[in-house]
Structure 1
Amino acid sequence: MNITSSPPERTHLRLGFVALSDAAPLAVAALRELGARHGIAIELCRQPSWAAVRDKLLSGEIDAAHALYGLVYGVQLGIGGPQADMAVLMVLNRNGQAITLSRPLADAIRGGASVKDALRTLERKPVIAQTFPTGTHAMWLYYWLAAHGVHPLRDVQSVVIPPPRMADALVEGALDGFCAGEPWHAVAEARNAGGTVAYTSEIWPDHPEKVLACRRDFAALYPATARALVRTMLDACAWLDSTAHRTEIVQALASETLLGVPSRLIEPRLVAADGGAARALPVRFFDGGAVNYPRVSDGLWFITQYRRWGLLDADIDDAGIAASVNQTALYRDAAQAAGVALPAERHAATFCDARVWDGGDAAAYLAGFEMRA
């Protein structure tokens, strides 16, 4: 029997997610029962925070999850919590995140003030939230602040808050800003608590964001199941390439069981490019498979940032770690069976500070940063 046609060892899978618009592929897969043709059924399990996603992945209460790319690497490296061998099965989306600051700060920046000068008007350390200590949002926020001459560890108080709490905390005055996913920036603007000042696609155009993650032993014990899950999610991501389909899934995402946010606040930044902002790139889910390949260099980039900000100083094989986490062989098997094209292994990206990352020389790349921990 061809390995890619082996029946899944597990047929019922519990998938964790946090209330964010980019959980759309999981919603599509479950609601449209896309796993049926691949021999699996999906049960969605909403989680209150990324810490809960981590804990339930580790305990086995959920089998896989919509997860922050950096969450997977933080657990793999044992940074700030339990260590476990983790697996990135595929990328679920690119772009679609943002940085929102309180209304006075956002107005000052829109009026021409630099980010550094605007934050100095507070005459105290700004309190800016992200969603997980090693997560994507922490890394986008730190990179953006540093690019604007603001040290993210010394000049700012960075705190962790679950995404659904962001807008409330900004309204209450507990925060001066936050970096998270949608629809919470749209919610903050609708409540007149803040304004979006940067889109993460401006920091790293077409950056990887959420991934399909599981423990590595799950992928090893149930490889046919993992491949079936990847094929199901590729089908869901491809379905989301249609504007009409995105508009359709917004109604489901608005439900209390998924996001619990009015569809009018979800739709603009999911269907269009972050509400039609000229400088933002749209959230991407598939694009013929260009979105989904778990490129090892993407994982390695997160490790460079952990070293940059003092979260990691161990003498380990960074590239080897990334190669073990990102399940490129499993993904290739699933994608080839599905007829999905595989992109190039190497890809150069130019960041907002004009630095270029291609995964080639991580040590030299890291040494080139003037602002570090």
Structure 2
Amino acid sequence: MNTSALAWVNGSDAPEKPSLYIGFMALTDCASVVVAATQGFAQQHGLTLNLKRQGSWASLRDKLASGELDAAHCLYGLVYAVHLGIGGVPASDMAVLMGLNQNAQAINLSPALQRKGVTSPEALARLVHQSGARLTFAQTFPTGTHAMWLYYWLASQGIHPLHDVNSVVVPPAQMAAHVQAGRIDGFCVGEPWAAAAVAQGQGFTLATSQSIWPDHPEKVLACARSFAEQYPNSARALIKSILAASRFIEQSQENRRSAAQLLSGSAYLDTPLETVEPRLLGDYQDGLGNHWQDSHTLRLFDQGRANLPYLSDGMWFMTQFRRWGLLRDDPDYLGVARQVQQLRLYHEAADTLGVPCPASVMRSSLLIDGIRWDGSDPHGYARSFRLHALGDTPNARTGL
């Protein structure tokens, strides 16, 4: 009899595997994972979380797929790509245990473009279409959120992300250095690296991801589906630990500031506090003299609304894979999402903590181009866009 069955027979919900290896990338939105591991939340639920910082999403993917990592702070689209067999490794059944955050990614342009007066979407579109300039934009993983935000935003401005510009993969922390070296003209990345580039004089923020899709899905807590099936108590305890930490961080501005202080340390982001804290608090300066308090700032909890693994969120990434030719055929959008999103485990964990769960596992959102996504017709949605690559060969420069 396996350990999870024994635990059930004994009437215990104690974690079958109490010590877990958890991968993360040096990004502000790993906050709840770090706080859970270091501030006693995991211990309250019988776990020890051994955090393992990764240098690239490809490295994190490989270790998650091989089982070297039990779970990880992960790009939503990376999970679905691996599950569908387009993620650069053999197809492997994956699981999303919970959402970790919404919002707080950014698209930056270089100082060279700024000097040319390319400081608006319209100016960028004119440059691309009228000058014949072949610009190069970086994102962090070919099927990841940053690639999808970059592609979606460019397309919303009439710029085809696969035909009109080059797209390359650069690890998050290296974006500013690549701009400085003249290798890229812009990038889409998670914080604090967009803010860091602005602080270093390496360009400006032209768009935030929340301006593309307010309260969009972003990072998730991911694992191999075999982990969730073999160690359900550990998976549930892990969700509870991180959900409790998410709730704690958002209880006060002081808690957010404390999280920023913790994250800035050498073990996590290894970045000055003044680069991390402002955008974590929603305080934005774009490098062009504009300053605002963002109404759709980084959301780690939002009364549980940022954490439920909505079926429609997972389905959206698959529609974009289909739109851009990464998938040659339509998947069973809803069926795959039901396999990946671990709604039962999440609901059990949330109920234990008294965290409310939204009534529907679908949600409706209006994106920057005026097109509404609600999960009701994924096949039609993938074909509804003026700019797409359906039927094209996937971009040869994916870097997988």
Q: Give the TM-score band, short-chain normalised.
A: over 0.9
Partner of 1:226: 235
Matched, 1:255 2:261: no
2:102 to 94, 102, 105: 94
Matched, 1:372 2:388: yes
Q: In the TM superposition, what whole-angstrom CA distance separates every residue of 1:148-174 from its partner, at most 9, and x where no partner exists?
A: 000000001000011011111111111
Structure 1 residues 112, 168: CA separation in 2 closer, same or farther (over 3 Å shift)?
Answer: closer
1:153 to 140, 154, 162: 162
What CA distance in whole angstroms lies between the structure 2 residues aligned with 1:116 and 1:85? 40
| Native 8 Å contact 2:78 2:87 kept in 1 | no
What CA distance in whole angstroms lies between the structure 2 residues aligned with 1:185 and 1:7? 41
Matched, 1:74 2:81: yes
What CA distance in whole angstroms lies between the structure 1 residues aligned with 2:387 and 2:300? 33
Matched, 1:37 2:44: yes
Matched, 1:359 2:392: no
Q: In the TM superposition, what whole-angstrom CA distance separates every residue of 1:123-156 from its partner, at most 9, and x where no partner exists?
A: 4311100000100000000000000000000001
How far is 1:3 from its partner?
A: 11
| Native 8 Å contact 1:274 1:281 kept in 2 | no
Structure 1 residues 91, 106: CA separation in 2 closer, same or farther (over 3 Å shift)?
Answer: farther
| Native 8 Å contact 1:296 1:322 kept in 2 | yes
How far is 1:364 from its partner?
A: 1.8
Structure 1 residues 9, 220: CA separation in 2 closer, same or farther (over 3 Å shift)?
Answer: same
2:338 to 312, 318, 323: 323
How far is 1:280 from its partner?
A: 5.8
2:307 to 276, 288, 292: 292
How far is 1:316 from its partner?
A: 3.3
What CA distance in whole angstroms lies between the structure 2 residues aligned with 1:100 and 1:2? 55
Unmatched runs of 5 consecutive residues or more in structure 2 = 1-7, 286-290, 390-400
What CA distance in whole angstroms lies between the structure 2 residues aligned with 1:256 and 1:201? 28
Q: Secondary structure at the match of 1:35?
A: helix
Structure 1 residues 316, 281: CA separation in 2 closer, same or farther (over 3 Å shift)?
Answer: closer
1:135 to 144, 162, 172: 144
| Native 8 Å contact 1:250 1:267 kept in 2 | yes
Over aligned residue pairs, what C-alpha RMSD do you find?
1.9
Structure 1 residues 3, 38: CA separation in 2 closer, same or farther (over 3 Å shift)?
Answer: farther
| Native 8 Å contact 2:309 2:361 kept in 1 | no
| Native 8 Å contact 2:103 2:209 kept in 1 | yes
Q: TM-score, normalised by structure 2?
A: 0.89
| Native 8 Å contact 1:25 1:92 kept in 2 | yes
Return the letter of the residue paired with 1:130.
Q
How far is 1:278 from its partner?
A: 4.7
For residues 55-74 of structure 1, the aligned pairs below 5 Å read 55-74=62-81
What CA distance in whole angstroms lies between the structure 2 residues aligned with 1:370 and 1:4? 56
What CA distance in whole angstroms lies between the structure 2 residues aligned with 1:359 and 1:150? 25
Structure 1 residues 149, 278: CA separation in 2 closer, same or farther (over 3 Å shift)?
Answer: farther
How far is 1:346 from its partner?
A: 2.4
How far is 1:37 from its partner?
A: 1.3
How far is 1:111 from its partner?
A: 6.2
Structure 1 residues 27, 76: CA separation in 2 closer, same or farther (over 3 Å shift)?
Answer: same
How far is 1:103 from its partner?
A: 2.0
What CA distance in whole angstroms lies between the structure 2 residues aligned with 1:277 and 1:230? 33
| Native 8 Å contact 2:282 2:294 kept in 1 | no
How far is 1:2 from its partner?
A: 11
How far is 1:115 from its partner?
A: 2.8
Partner of 1:309: 324
| Native 8 Å contact 2:32 2:242 kept in 1 | yes
| Native 8 Å contact 1:16 1:46 kept in 2 | yes
Partner of 2:5: none
What CA distance in whole angstroms lies between the structure 2 residues aligned with 1:112 and 1:349? 22
How far is 1:252 from its partner?
A: 1.7
What CA distance in whole angstroms lies between the structure 2 residues aligned with 1:171 and 1:4? 59
| Native 8 Å contact 1:71 1:135 kept in 2 | yes
Matched, 1:54 2:69: no
Partner of 1:103: 111
Unmatched runs of 5 consecutive residues or more in structure 1 = none
Q: In the TM superposition, what whole-angstrom CA distance separates every residue of 1:178-232 from its partner, at most 9, and x where no partner exists?
A: 0010011111111111100000001010001000000000000000100000000
How far is 1:240 from its partner?
A: 1.3
What CA distance in whole angstroms lies between the structure 2 residues aligned with 1:265 and 1:119? 31
2:92 to 76, 84, 95: 84
Structure 1 residues 315, 207: CA separation in 2 closer, same or farther (over 3 Å shift)?
Answer: closer
Q: Secondary structure at the match of 1:57?
A: helix
| Native 8 Å contact 2:310 2:361 kept in 1 | yes
1:240 to 249, 269, 291: 249
Return the letter of the residue paired with 2:305.
A
Partner of 1:213: 222
| Native 8 Å contact 1:4 1:334 kept in 2 | no
Amino-acid identity (%): 48
How many pairs were matched up?
373
What CA distance in whole angstroms lies between the structure 2 residues aligned with 1:144 and 1:340? 33
| Native 8 Å contact 1:199 1:280 kept in 2 | no
Matched, 1:182 2:191: yes
Q: Secondary structure at the match of 1:129?
A: strand
| Native 8 Å contact 2:102 2:218 kept in 1 | yes
